[in-house]
């Protein structure tokens, strides 16, 4: 099924636009079922990256994330995320709730996930910790078919005669993810296995399902300067994030530099020496970090074949952390994970 946005053009311009939209619509529509939405600021959306980060905060944490993917392409490609988590210091644990909403294309193909997360922190020795996590979630896939324009509706005059689309049902299912994280004062590494219950993706009762996603992430602080009796002042970190979902691969490699209160980052997204995915984007990040509030903005500079037509991607994050712990309780809190906040 080929999908278009509404257009009102004639002659050769119409033909060129149709061909252009045919290619983009096919790529976008097929990929939307094969992979999850991606956040460039994945540490600003830590619960989406891994359930192991649930409760990895001083006490409470609230996060908002928004991504506008390919603004120059017809149709909308927006992803929203909201999360809240809490540290259970008396139980070496953390709990959280995460909701994501992704909408793509002119037909508002939407995916909604609402999950409950739990993690537990094991202290192996004085330096190393292991933190497994789980995410139980509800999955919903919807489509506004009334907004679609099918290829049979496109004519040389640019008119769109009405058609009656075949009946279909929106999709609801349950899903599960698990993860593990190992860290010490300056390094961290972890993995996530998502969609282990392979929820359904077909509007017509077929056997199509969401493929399992594997995610590996890690990094280290290679420079760390502090002042006596003061919080961290200057940090340089290197980090990597690798994803595999079905036939889709993605690798991110980058640097973060924090100089109180500003943070800067640059990332390369792509897999070198793999022709089809050798380079996708260069990502630039700027943010501000205070003791409680983190605000970040990033832009994906497209370097793939879509360099002149996608418009890149804009992403905004807001994280607010707060606590009402006493001095004695602060001493007993779970050790901080050294990864960046964006």
Mean pLDDT of 128-135: 97
What is the tens place of the pLDDT at every residue in 263-280?
999 999 987 666 455 678
pLDDT attached to residue 247: 86
Highest mean pLDDT among 16-30, 120-134, 140-154, 320-334: 120-134
3-state secondary structure of 30: helix
The token pair at 294 is 């983190």
**Residue spans of alpha helices (H) in the chain:** 11-34, 46-49, 327-331
The token pair at 339 is 């990864």
With a cut of 90, say whether residue 173 has pLDDT above it. yes
pLDDT attached to residue 25: 46
The token pair at 162 is 């009405």
User: Taking all residues of the chain, what is their mean pLDDT, rounded to a whole number?
Assistant: 82
pLDDT attached to residue 278: 61
* Strands (DSSP E) found in the chain: 3-4, 60-69, 76-88, 93-105, 109-120, 122-123, 129-142, 149-150, 171-183, 187-194, 213-226, 232-245, 248-259, 262-269, 281-289, 293-302, 313-322
Cα–Cα distance for residue pair 215/207, rounded to 1 Å: 24
pLDDT attached to residue 195: 97
Structural domains of the chain, ranges and CATH numbers in brackets: 8-331 (2.40.160.40)
Cα–Cα distance for residue pair 203/168, rounded to 1 Å: 6
The token pair at 268 is 């390369």
What is the tens place of the pLDDT at every residue in 287-333?
999 889 999 999 999 887 766 677 889 999 999 998 876 555 555 56
pLDDT attached to residue 105: 76
Cis peptide before 261 (omega within 30 of 0): yes
Confidence (pTM) = 0.84
With a cut of 70, say whether residue 93 has pLDDT above it. yes
pLDDT attached to residue 203: 80
Residues 6+ apart with CB under 8 A from 329: 89
Buried b (16+ CB within 10 A) or exposed e, 107-145: bbbbbbbebebbbbbeeeeeeebebbbbbebebebbbeb
pLDDT attached to residue 307: 66
Mean pLDDT of 214-240: 86
With a cut of 90, say whether residue 336 has pLDDT above it. no
What is the tens place of the pLDDT at every residue in 2-48?
333 343 444 444 433 443 444 344 444 444 455 799 999 999 999 99
Residue 341 pLDDT class (50, 70, 90 cuts): confident
Window from 114-118, 173-177, 205-209 with minimum mean pLDDT: 205-209
pLDDT attached to residue 26: 40
């Amino acid at each position: 099924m080929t999908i278009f946005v509404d257009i009102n053009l004639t002659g050769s311009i119409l033909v060129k636009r149709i061909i252009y939209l045919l290619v983009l619509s096919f790529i976008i529509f097929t990929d939307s079922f094969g992979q999850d939405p991606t956040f460039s600021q994945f540490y600003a959306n830590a619960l989406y990256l891994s359930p192991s980060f649930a409760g990895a905060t001083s006490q409470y944490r609230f996060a908002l994330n928004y991504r506008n993917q390919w603004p120059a392409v017809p149709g909308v490609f927006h992803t929203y995320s909201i999360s809240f988590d809490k540290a259970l210091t008396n139980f070496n644990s953390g709990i959280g709730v995460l909701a994501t909403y992704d909408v793509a294309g002119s037909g508002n193909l939407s995916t909604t996930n609402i999950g409950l997360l739990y993690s537990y922190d094991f202290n192996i020795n004085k330096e190393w910790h292991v933190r497994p996590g789980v995410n139980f979630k509800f999955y919903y896939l919807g489509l506004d078919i009334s907004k679609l324009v099918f290829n049979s509706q496109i004519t040389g005059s640019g008119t769109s005669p009405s058609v009656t689309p075949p009946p279909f049902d929106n999709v609801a299912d349950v899903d599960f993810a698990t993860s593990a994280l190992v860290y010490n004062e300056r390094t961290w590494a972890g993995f996530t296995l998502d969609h282990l219950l392979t929820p359904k993706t077909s509007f017509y009762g077929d056997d199509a399902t969401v493929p399992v996603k594997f995610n590996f992430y890690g990094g280290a602080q290679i420079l760390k300067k502090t002042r006596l009796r003061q919080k961290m002042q200057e940090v340089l970190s290197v980090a990597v994030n690798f994803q595999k979902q079905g036939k889709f691969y993605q690798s991110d490699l980058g640097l973060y530099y924090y100089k109180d209160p500003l943070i800067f980052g640059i990332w390369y997204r792509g897999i070198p020496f793999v022709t089809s995915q050798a380079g996708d984007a260069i990502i630039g990040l700027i943010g501000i970090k205070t003791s409680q509030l983190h605000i970040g903005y990033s832009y994906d500079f497209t370097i793939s074949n879509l360099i002149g037509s996608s418009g890149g991607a804009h992403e905004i994050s807001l994280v607010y952390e707060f606590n009402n712990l006493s001095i004695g309780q602060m001493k007993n809190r779970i050790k901080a994970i050294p990864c960046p906040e964006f």
